[in-house]
């Protein structure tokens, strides 16, 4: 007897496709209120196919790298690995878009990470440092940090923890809302790109244009190749 699973069952464990090419495997079930098929349809509506040239598959589930890297999603060897622990459709959409940005940077690395984007990022980091230092001095917050940490381009876990745990994203948002599209964009140059990319497609590209015009222009340039 052949068994054809219902659409509801396929959303729990099964396969979907994106752009009729990329297979999305649901290895572990998503919450009842999250629809992978609806999210993939939204991705096709929002994002030109060219941005998925380096994506061959998507895996939804739980992977040991999540604990090792303290994350809930990552890109590796042509595949997006996304946690099945999602709040809602928007949460899943954000993760897919963010990791797609990391796939895009593999093909367009030299174009994306030039001196213009580095300058845009570091200018914002310098302003953020000055604001944190001013608050630290005026309110005697006793925060342990130095300017050199703020002027690095690459990811650093200790600095990530300083932003996320010591400062906290709510506080960070209040002092950087005009510098970064969202607080996580301050983490590193790569996350600045990925965070801007995610928000460009999931939220409002005009916000990205106003806050990160160089980054915005790079997304536009790649999209024009489609």
Q: Would you give the distance in Å from CA 44 to the centre of its chain? A: 17
Q: How far apart are CA 70 and CA 199, in angstroms?
A: 22
Predicted pLDDT at 115? 98
Q: Would you give the distance in Å from CA 192 to the centre of its chain? A: 9
**Residues 137-169 pLDDT 10s:** 998 888 989 999 999 999 999 999 999 999 999
**Residues 64-89 pLDDT 10s:** 999 988 899 999 999 999 999 999 99
Q: Tokens for 203, please give them.
A: 């939220």
Please report the DSSP string for 74-142 in residue order: EEETTEEEEES--SSHHHHHHHHHHHHHHHHHHHHHHHHSSHHHHHHHHHHHHHHHHHHHHHHHHHT--
Confidence at 4, pLDDT banded by 50, 70, 90: very low
Asked whether the predicted pLDDT for residue 6 surpasses 50, the reply is no
Q: How far apart are CA 24 and CA 17, in angstroms?
A: 6
Residue 100 has a CB neighbour count (10 Å cut-off) of: 23
Mean pLDDT, rounded, for 55-62: 97
Burial of 183 (C-beta count, 10 Å sphere; 0-12/13-18/19+)? buried
H or E stretch at 190: helix 189-202
Predicted pLDDT at 12? 57
Q: Kindly state the percentage of the chain with pLDDT values over 70.
A: 94
Q: What is the number of alpha carbons within 13 Å of residue 195 lying toward its C-beta?
A: 18
Q: How far apart are CA 215 and CA 116, in angstroms?
A: 9
CA proximity to 34, closest of 84, 94, 79 = 84
Predicted pLDDT at 19? 97
Confidence at 5, pLDDT banded by 50, 70, 90: very low
Asked whether the predicted pLDDT for residue 2 surpasses 70, the reply is no
**Residues 94-112 pLDDT 10s:** 999 999 999 999 999 999 9
Predicted pLDDT at 69? 86
∠ CA(102), CA(162), CA(114), 5° rounding?
A: 35
Higher-confidence residue of 200 and 225: namely: 200
Average pLDDT of the chain is 92
């Amino acid at each position: 007897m052949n068994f054809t699973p219902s659409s509801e069952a396929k959303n729990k464990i099964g396969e979907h496709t994106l752009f009729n090419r990329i297979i999305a495997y649901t290895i572990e079930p998503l919450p009842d209120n999250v629809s992978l098929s609806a999210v993939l349809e939204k991705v096709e509506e929002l994002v030109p196919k060219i941005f998925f040239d380096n994506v061959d598959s998507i895996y939804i589930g739980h992977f040991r790298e999540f604990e090792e890297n303290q994350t809930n999603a990552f890109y590796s060897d042509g595949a997006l690995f996304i946690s099945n622990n999602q709040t809602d459709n928007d949460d899943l959409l954000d993760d897919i878009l963010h990791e797609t940005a990391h796939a895009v940077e593999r093909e367009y690395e030299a174009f994306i990470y030039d001196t213009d984007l580095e300058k845009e990022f570091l200018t914002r980091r310098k302003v953020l440092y000055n604001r944190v230092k001013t608050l630290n001095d005026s309110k005697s917050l006793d925060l342990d940090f130095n300017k050199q940490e703020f002027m690095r381009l690459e990811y650093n876990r200790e600095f990530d923890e300083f932003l996320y745990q010591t400062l906290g994203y709510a506080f960070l948002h209040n002092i950087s809302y005009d510098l970064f599209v969202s607080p996580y964009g301050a983490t590193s140059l790569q996350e600045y790109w990925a965070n801007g990319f995610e928000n460009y497609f999931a939220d409002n590209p005009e916000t990205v244009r106003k806050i990160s015009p160089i980054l915005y222009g790079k997304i536009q340039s790649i999209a024009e190749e489609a």
